[in-house]
């Protein structure tokens, strides 16, 4: 199996099913975990030298960090419903979570110094946008875009309708060449509705030294260390993915594949 496709494990005693670190991914910045918790189960972590964005994918939980109890957040039954609740925990802090119902949570991390205060990011703070047209249309929920405070992290959810493409035309962000392109590592956490489906994702570079096409099932993570990375949802299956990005500079500037950029002129 490709090293870029990470399958979930059975839950460990803490409920963790994904544990992607910079070391395991072979890169520098992005860390990503997923936990599936039963009601009443608790979780506590120290952030050390990394900031964290804890996204409630489903369920309700009481959350606290930096000595502040933020109360119960969340409430959607699946990531396909409504907008998310999230908790931002700065570096050099501790955060805790107690599941009020069965929960699925994502823990997104990246290097930081602890310059910013803890906060809850409610649904009313999640920016909405629709990108593309026709079967390239997808719906974006900006949880932690570059216009909102964080030190390294960029976090976004995307809903791709059945039969549509996303991250398309193919684009990349693997060179530190601002103002034209930024270097950002990226993870895609895929969920399918119904969950028996799959998504197709290609990760490739201009010279094709990396060129892989992956079939991602419900709950899989795709790693994008470099290269273009379009993804498609087959007919009959709606695709959700959670993107986590980080790099040396907190800005998203991408470069389109010249072979496919022509279609943007027709938009």
Alpha-carbon torsion (110, 111, 117, 118), positive or negative: positive
The pLDDT value given to residue 267: 58
Q: What's the total number of domains in the chain?
A: 1
**For 265, phi and psi rounded to 5 degrees?**
-70, -20
Which pLDDT band, with edges at 50, 70 and 90, does 145 fall under? very high
Higher pLDDT, 82 or 125: 125
On whether the CB atoms of residues 162 and 173 are closer than 8 A, the answer is: no
The pLDDT value given to residue 142: 97
Q: Give the model confidence (pLDDT) of 230-249 as tens digits.
A: 999 999 999 999 999 999 99
Q: Report the mean per-residue pLDDT for the chain.
A: 97
**How many angstroms separate the CA atoms of 237 and 193, rounded?**
5
**How many angstroms separate the CA atoms of 75 and 15, rounded?**
19
- Residue 93 belongs to domain with CATH number: 2.60.120.10
**How many angstroms separate the CA atoms of 127 and 106, rounded?**
19
Q: Percentage of the chain with pLDDT > 70?
A: 99
Whether the model clears a pTM of 0.95, i.e. scores above it, the answer is yes
HEC letters along the chain: CCCCEECCCCCCCCCEEEEECHHHHCCCCCEEEEEEECCCCEEEEECCCEEEEEEEEECEEEEEECCEEEEEEECCCCCCCCCCEEEEECCCCEEEEEECCCEEEEEEEEECCCCCCCEEECHHHCEEEEECCHHHCEEEEEEECCCCCCCCCEEEEEEECCCCEECCCCEECEEEECCCEEECEEEEEEEEECCCCEEEEEEECCCCCCEEEEEEECCCEEEECCCECCEECCCCCEEEEEEEEECCCCCCCCEECCCCHHHHHHC
Q: Token pair for residue 228?
A: 């273009």
Q: What distances in angstroms separate CA 20 from CA 54, 66, 100, 167, 224, one per listed residue?
A: 15, 24, 26, 22, 12
Could you tell me the residue range of the domain that residue 31 belongs to?
A: 5-263
The pLDDT value given to residue 88: 98
Which pLDDT band, with edges at 50, 70 and 90, does 1 fall under? confident
């Amino acid at each position: 199996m490709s090293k870029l496709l990470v399958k979930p494990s059975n839950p460990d005693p803490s409920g963790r099913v994904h544990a992607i670190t910079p070391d395991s991914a072979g890169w520098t910045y992005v860390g990503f975990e997923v936990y599936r918790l039963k009601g009443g189960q608790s979780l506590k972590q120290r952030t050390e030298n990394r900031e964290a964005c804890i996204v409630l994918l489903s369920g309700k939980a009481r959350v606290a960090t930096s000595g502040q109890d933020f109360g119960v957040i969340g409430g959607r039954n699946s990531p396909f419903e409504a907008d998310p609740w999230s908790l931002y925990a700065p570096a050099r802090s501790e955060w805790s979570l107690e599941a009020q119902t069965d929960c699925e949570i994502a823990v997104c991390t990246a290097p930081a110094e602890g310059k910013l205060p803890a906060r809850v990011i409610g649904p009313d703070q999640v920016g909405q946008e629709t990108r593309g047209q026709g079967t390239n249309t997808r719906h974006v929920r900006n949880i932690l875009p570059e216009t909102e405070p964080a030190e390294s992290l960029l976090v976004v959810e995307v809903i791709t309708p059945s039969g549509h493409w996303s991250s398309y035309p193919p684009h990349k962000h693997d060179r530190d060449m601002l103002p034209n392109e930024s270097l950002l590592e990226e993870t895609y956490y895929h969920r399918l509705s119904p969950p028996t489906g799959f998504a197709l994702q290609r990760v490739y570079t201009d010279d094709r030294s990396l060129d892989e096409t992956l079939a991602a099932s419900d709950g899989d993570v795709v790693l994008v260390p470099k290269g273009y990375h379009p993804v498609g949802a087959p007919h009959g299956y709606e695709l959700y993915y959670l993107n986590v990005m980080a790099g040396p500079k907190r800005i998203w500037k991408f470069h389109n594949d010249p072979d496919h950029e022509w279609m943007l002129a027709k938009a």
